[in-house]
Structure 1
Amino acid sequence: MSGFDSFEVGPAILFCPADRPDRYAKAAAAADAVILDLEDAVAPADKAAARGHVVASSLDPEGTIVRVNPVGGETAEEHRLDLAALDGGRYRTLMVAKVEDPVQLDHLHAAAYRVIALCETAAGVERAFEIARHPAVVALMWGAEDLVASMAGKSSRFAGGPRAGQYREVARYARSRVLIAANAAGKVAVDTVFMDIGDLDGLRDETEDAVASGFAATACIHPSQAETIRQAHAPSAEEVEWAEAVLNEAASQPGVFRFRGRMVDEPILRQARRIVG
């Protein structure tokens, strides 16, 4: 349950506050998978009720992820209560917030949960390669704002000037590190959310960059973002035509060959196979 062949998610994964059961079905219908969020989206006083809502829900388990509270520190009891509520239930894929050490996931492996590990602190990003190799982990995701906050920073993006809206270098480093760690371990890489709900052009640009870089899915915070993410992840008609043509040519060409002015070898053919599915 730990490789690309055994775990698929997305491409559009939508967060939904777990204390809003009235939104569950709408979120599941809008996206390819829904994350019922027991962590940041729920106030401490509402967490017990939110757990009850999750347990009582009847969404498709294959398209449902539950984000639980971090394993250690001041949230350890909340994490324990999350697991107690979910124990024996229908939802077996967890998103674990603020993972910083693969040892933190041992108990989830023992309980046969599939884990999407959120590397969203300085320690989590630094240990992303070790976390990705944990047997419970099926995917990695990163988070920009929690990362910057963990280092007492102010913002993950430039607010003005020629680079307005772009990630600062520290966020770009974390994004790349988590992406490479996931792919090196044969796990799914999930890109983080785009916070400006109204800027669909910015979301499209960022998602297209994520796809070109190797992310398999993108998380979002509003149903209106899901279709833009799907479109960005889907190959264009031109890409499909090229992929089919180059694979047809490869059938009669031994080894490396020239196609439409470009040298084609096995890595290029792997890209083409992914495009045609």
Structure 2
Amino acid sequence: MPNPIAPDSRWCPPGPAMLFCPGDRPDRYQKAADRADVVILDLEDAVAADNRDAAREALVATQLDPDRTIVRINSSSTGEARRDLAAIAETLYRVVLVAKAESAEEVARTEMQTIALIESPTGAVNVNEIAAAPNIIGMMWGAEDLVAGLGGTSSRFGPDEPRPGTYRDVARHVRAAVRLAAAAHDLFAVDAVHLDIADVDGLRDEVRDAVALGYQATACIHPSQVQTIRDGYRPSAEQVEWAGGVLAAAEEHAGVFSYDGRMVDGPVLSQARAVLTRAGVDPAQD
């Protein structure tokens, strides 16, 4: 079912690096905004339960550019979401990230443009239903809460296991399910955070894979991760040249054709347009 929010009125990430910032640390708000493409002001996990009122007060008192800001609110099951939304109503922010989203009804309850964060077993099972919520614009997933909900201990393989540092199969399954559900409902998708800040190579590999799967952004927890994410999403000069050449050649062919030794059909043209879009080039104008 088509999303009733018109595509030209939906918020979308202005860049690929989305940085979490604790809601109760207003001294960090502007610093985060200066470093990242999008700031996620967090009223949930990053804030101790007894400090959430202070975080909401800071949210209202210290406002950022609403075009580059998302507010993560608590799950409706905690009883905190209503107070979060009341605080947001006093700001210019219009996009929320619903933590531990588990149903379309929960997403619709915000009455705002909403990104659903899939990070529980129930949310993972209901991912396609959630993606059909009337006010949803994007989806994100999270590994650690997911594994905790399974009664597990780690989302990734350890140093003495196969594929050390990479996601275990259940986490990979949810990552793929979120991407598929988002694409099926014409939503953008945001990849999960890489918690090991020192593991730059691991983050780089994960971003490269996210780009290959069509993710539009990656969330992060530290400013030092921003440039790695930006670099990973930015196409190389060679990729941009190839994409532009393919689309130019397509103007001279009515069907399948060969370009640079490769067969080109509809899906390849879509991939070329995606490359130009990530490079900041309008494919229609190329």
Q: TM-score, normalised by structure 2?
A: 0.92
Greater mean alpha carbon deviation, residues 220-229 or residues 85-94:
85-94
- Unaligned 5+ segments in structure 1 are none
Using the TM superposition, give the Cα deviation of residue 2 of structure 1 relative to its aligned residue in structure 2, in angstroms: 6.2
Contact 1:182 1:188 in 2 (8 A): yes
Using the TM superposition, give the Cα deviation of residue 7 of structure 1 relative to its aligned residue in structure 2, in angstroms: 2.9
| Aligned equivalent of 1:175 | 175
| Aligned equivalent of 2:43 | 38
| Aligned equivalent of 1:159 | 158
| Aligned equivalent of 1:6 | 10
Using the TM superposition, give the Cα deviation of residue 242 of structure 1 relative to its aligned residue in structure 2, in angstroms: 0.5
Matches of 2:144 and 2:83, distance apart in 1: 26
Contact 2:188 2:216 in 1 (8 A): yes
- How many residues align structurally? 271
Greater mean alpha carbon deviation, residues 36-45 or residues 159-168:
159-168
Of residues 96, 105, 127 in structure 2, which corresponds to 1:103? Answer: 105
* 1:32 partner amino acid: D
* 1:92 partner amino acid: R
% identity of equivalent residues: 53
Contact 1:118 1:141 in 2 (8 A): yes
Using the TM superposition, give the Cα deviation of residue 80 of structure 1 relative to its aligned residue in structure 2, in angstroms: 1.5
| Aligned equivalent of 2:85 | 83
* 2:243 partner amino acid: A
Q: Deviations over 1:32-86 (max 9, x none)?
A: 00000000000011110010000111210010000011011xx11x112111222
Using the TM superposition, give the Cα deviation of residue 215 of structure 1 relative to its aligned residue in structure 2, in angstroms: 0.5
Q: TM-score, normalised by structure 1?
A: 0.95
- Per the alignment, in what secondary structure is the counterpart of residue 108 of structure 1? coil
| Aligned equivalent of 1:251 | 251
Of residues 66, 73, 77 in structure 2, which corresponds to 1:68? Answer: 73
| Aligned equivalent of 1:269 | 269
2:126 is aligned with 1:124: no
Matches of 1:106 and 1:256, distance apart in 2: 43
Contact 2:60 2:90 in 1 (8 A): no
Instruction: Label 1:210 to 1:49 Cα distance change in 2 as closer, same or farther (>3 A).
Output: same
Matches of 2:234 and 2:162, distance apart in 1: 30
Contact 1:3 1:186 in 2 (8 A): no
Greater mean alpha carbon deviation, residues 82-91 or residues 245-254:
82-91
Using the TM superposition, give the Cα deviation of residue 253 of structure 1 relative to its aligned residue in structure 2, in angstroms: 1.3
Greater helix share, 1 or 2?
1
- Per the alignment, in what secondary structure is the counterpart of residue 105 of structure 1? helix
**Cα-Cα RMSD:** 1.3
